[in-house]
Chains A and B, each alone.
Chain A
C-alpha cells in the first residue's frame, strides 16, 4: 500500500523515505483506534442486549405495554317473561389524587374548579378543602356520575382529577318489586333481597388483557388475555304483570283502611312458583335517601302473625283425614261456649248444630275445637307440620322467618283448641300461601320457588286428595252469598277461601289491633292460584277480614286469572250463552 506514495515522489524524496517507520506507526494507531471504536460499540451492544437487557426492556414496555380491564356489569334480574327488574348501567366515578393536585398547582386555575363544583352540585370551598391535603393519594370527589357529566369533567382536564369506570344499578319497576329484588350498595354489592342472596352468582370478575400500543396509541398486539367470569342473569318466577296489579290493589287498600302495613302473595298451585309477593308500604330502590328501615323489610316473609280463622281448615282436614268425622257429620256447637281447663272457648253467637261446611262458613271456634279434640294430639300437631307452618317456605329468601310455634310435650286441651282456630302460633304470609297451595294441589306439598329453574321440585303427598277436595268445597261456601267472605267473589270463577280476623297479642293479653287475612284458591274445579292477602292493623271503621282483605283478594285473583288465561269454571259463563251472544254480535 505504501508503493503508490513512493511512486508519486521524486527520487530524492524516495531516498529519504526508504524506511517508512513513522508511517507504519501512524497506520497502526489509526487502525487500532478504529478497531477500538468498533470493539467498544460491540461491547456496549453486547452489554445492552445480552448481559443487562432488563433496563431497556422495562423502559420500552413502560412506553408501549398497557393492561386493560374489560368492563363487566352485574347480571340482570328478570321476571318470568323477561321483563327487567334490575339492570346495571355503566357510570363513572370522579376521583382526585391530592398530591398531584397540590404539586401541579392546578388550584391556580380557579375557573376549572368552579366549573367542576358546579357540574357536580358541590360547594367549591368544600371540594377544594377535600383535595388539598398533599399526603393523601386518593379521594372520591363524586361517585356514580352520569356519562354526560363525566364527559364534561374529562374535558375540564384538571390535573390530578381522574375518572374511573363503575356501574350503577337501576330498578325499572321501582317500589313494586323493591322488597323482593332488594338493592345493591354504592360498590355494586347486593345488600338486600335477591341481590344479596345471589350476589356471587350475579357478580362477575373483570377479564384483563395485556396489550401493546404503537406511537399513535393504537393497539397493535395482544400479549395475553385473561378471561374473567361472566356474571349470570337470574330469572325469577315472578310475573311482573301480576306483581304490579297486586301492589296497586294492596297499596290502595292499605291507604283506604289506614292500615299499618299489608302483604300479598300469589302462588302457582301447580308447581309452587311464587308469581307475586308485594308489601305496602314500600320504597323507591332507585333513591333510598331517608327511607326508614321498616319500609325496606319484606314483611311477607319476615313478619309472623297469629293467623286466626284462616287456618281453621286444618282442624277440619285432620278430622276428615283421621276419620273422626265425615262431610255430613253434625257437630253440636251450642250453647256457643265451653270451658276447657280453666279457660273459655266461645263463638260470636250460638250457632247450634252445624255440619262441617257450616263450621267453616260460620268460622265456629266451638266446632273446630271439638274437631281438633276428636283426633289424637300427635296426629293434629303433625298436620300443622305437614302444612309447612312450622318451617320456612323453601323459597330460601333472605331473612325468612319460620313463624313462631312452641313444641310442647304435653298439650292441654285448651292449647289444642286455640291452635285449631289460629292462636298460639304465628305464621308469615308466605307460609300461609304455601298452606293454601297445598290445599289447592290436592294435598301435595312442594317447596315454594322464587328463582326459575327446570329442576323438578320435591313433592310429597301429605294428605289424601279426597279430603283436600272436600275441604275446598266447604271453603267455597265462605265466599258464597251469606258467607263471611262473600266480598271475595270473583265473577266467572269458583273460589274457595277463608277469612281470618285475629287480635294482635300485646303484653299481658290481646289488644285492640287486628290482623285481617284472606286466603284462598281458584278455580275450585282445577285450582291454579293461591292468593293470600294480609292487612295489618287497619285503623278505619272496618276491621273484619271479610270487609278489608276479601275485596283485595277478589281483585288480585280475578285479574291474575285473567292475565294467565285460566278458563272460567263458574256457571255464569257458559259456552252456550256466549255463542248466542256471539251470533248477535257477529
Chain B
C-alpha cells in the first residue's frame, strides 16, 4: 500500500500547497489589500465630497453675510452722516486755518 504517505491533515496540506506558490499567494493578498483600499478611498472620497459641499454652502452663507455687513458698514460710515453725528453729539468741527499747526521737518 502506497497510501501511507498521503497526508490527510487538510490545513497542513493547504499550507504546504500555498508555500509552493508564494508569488501567487502574495498576488492574492495584494489583490485583497488593494480591493480594501479601493473601498476605503471611495468612502473617504465621498466623505470629503460631502464636507466640501458643506463648506461651500458655508462659504456662500458667509459671503451673503459679508455682503450685507459691508452694506451696513457703508451705510453707517457714510461721510455726511458721520459729519452730522460728530458735530451734534461730540461738538466736533472742521479745524479752521488758524487751528492748523504746520510742523516742518528738516
How many chain A residues touch the partner (CB < 8 A)?
44
From residue A316, how far is it (CB to closest CB) to chain B in Å? 30
B96/A491 in contact, CB under 8 A: yes
B100/A573 in contact, CB under 8 A: yes
A578/B97 in contact, CB under 8 A: no
A83 contacts chain B at the CB level, 8 A cutoff: yes
A394 contacts chain B at the CB level, 8 A cutoff: no
B67/A173 in contact, CB under 8 A: no
B71/A90 in contact, CB under 8 A: no
Majority-rule SS of B interface residues: helix
Residues facing B in A120-176 (CB within 8 A) are 147, 170, 172-174, 176
Among B11-19, B26-34, B44-52, the stretch that binds chain A is B44-52
Give chain A's interface residues, CB within 8 Å of chain B: 71, 73, 83-84, 87-90, 147, 170, 172-174, 176, 211, 214, 218-222, 240-241, 243-245, 247-248, 491-493, 559, 562, 567-568, 570, 572-575, 578-579, 581-582
CB-CB under 8 A for A581 and B101, given A491-B96, A559-B94:
yes
How many angstroms from the CA of A88 to the CA of B68 in the assembled complex?
9
Query: Residue B79 contacts which of A88, A241, A572 (CB distance < 8 angstroms)?
Result: A241
B64/A87 in contact, CB under 8 A: no
B78 contacts chain A at the CB level, 8 A cutoff: yes
B74/A83 in contact, CB under 8 A: yes
How many angstroms from the CA of A245 to the CA of B78 in the assembled complex?
11
B79/A87 in contact, CB under 8 A: no
How big is the B interface, by class?
20 to 34
From residue B30, how far is it (CB to closest CB) to chain A in Å? 27
CB neighbours of A172 from chain B (8 A): 71, 74-75, 78
From residue B96, how far is it (CB to closest CB) to chain A in Å? 7
Closest to A85 in B: B74
B103 contacts chain A at the CB level, 8 A cutoff: yes
From residue B51, how far is it (CB to closest CB) to chain A in Å? 10
B21 contacts chain A at the CB level, 8 A cutoff: no
From residue B76, how far is it (CB to closest CB) to chain A in Å? 9
B74/A89 in contact, CB under 8 A: no
B101/A582 in contact, CB under 8 A: yes
CB neighbours of B79 from chain A (8 A): 176, 240-241, 243-245
